[in-house]
Structure 1
Amino acid sequence: MTNKHSKILLRFAGIFGLIGALLGAHMAGAGSYAFRPIHAHSLVVGWLTLFAWAVYYKVFQTTETVLTKIHVWSAIIGSVGLTVGMWLYMVKPFNLPEGLTLTFYIGGGVALLISFIAFFLITLFYREP
């Protein structure tokens, strides 16, 4: 079952890596650094962190538990929520109410924080098979 976790995290890491690279290319071509925080968080939170967790699940072969499910889905929801929320809040592409964009941004950050706590707990309770 852990290969399922590894595979889904790896796929999302790939998506974030592509988005981060495209944002970097756009910024270089346009000469504007407006997307710099979104670019950085896409690569660090989305690509690097999700990839590291995918490797963890592949290497350590943990069993599927409620905690691992919470970890994987809060990581994905948090990575998407934080980066999209940051884009909506900072770039303001749709002129949405600030309270809505800030809630989306903070909600993504909270979900990501939950995933980091869950991962820490998983590493504490990991037992060799």
Structure 2
Amino acid sequence: MGIKLIKISVVYFVIGVLLGLYMSMTGQYIYTSVHAHINLLGWTSMTLAGILYLIFPRAGMSPLGKVHFWMHNIALPVMMLGLFLVLAGHLQWLPLVSIGAIGVVIAVIVFAINIFLNVNIEE
């Protein structure tokens, strides 16, 4: 899972940078929170999780590692798409933000449990 997390994090990094470029070129900064969340929850968090999974392969190979990977990578795009649409004025998509955010929180909790259960000094 470590390599997969690092590779998908680079996709989030590119999306975040492109969104930042768009905002700076157009002077429209309404999507700043989308930009920040993509970079923090996509690029940074997933890169760090991937590195931890490489350092501690038992955590990366565990069922919790797989659940974390898939839940995070399903919930984050749902949350970001919903937030993008809400910020663009389509308030009917607000439940999408909430659903995605709850999914991301659960994914992070699964990650934390995985780290506590599967990361040991003996590794």
Q: TM-score, normalised by structure 2?
A: 0.88
Per-residue deviation at 1:57?
A: 0.7
The question of whether the paired residues in 2 share the 8 Å contact of 1:9 and 1:50 is answered with yes
SS of the aligned residue for 2:43 comes to helix
How many residues are paired up?
Answer: 120
- 1:81 aligns with 78
SS of the aligned residue for 1:34 comes to coil
Q: Which amino acid aligns with 2:55?
A: V
Q: In 2, distance between residues paired with 1:71 and 1:102? A: 24
What's the Cα RMSD here? 1.6
- 2:40 aligns with 44
Q: In 1, distance between residues paired with 2:72 and 2:100? A: 9
Q: TM-score, normalised by structure 1?
A: 0.84
- 1:35 aligns with 31
> Percent identity, aligned pairs only?
24
* Runs of 4+ with >3 A deviation: none
The question of whether the paired residues in 2 share the 8 Å contact of 1:10 and 1:54 is answered with yes
- 1:124 aligns with 116
- 1:71 aligns with 68
Which sections of structure 1, spanning at least 5 residues, go unmatched? none
Alignment of 1:77-116 (within 5 A): 77-92=74-89, 95=90, 98=92, 101-116=93-108
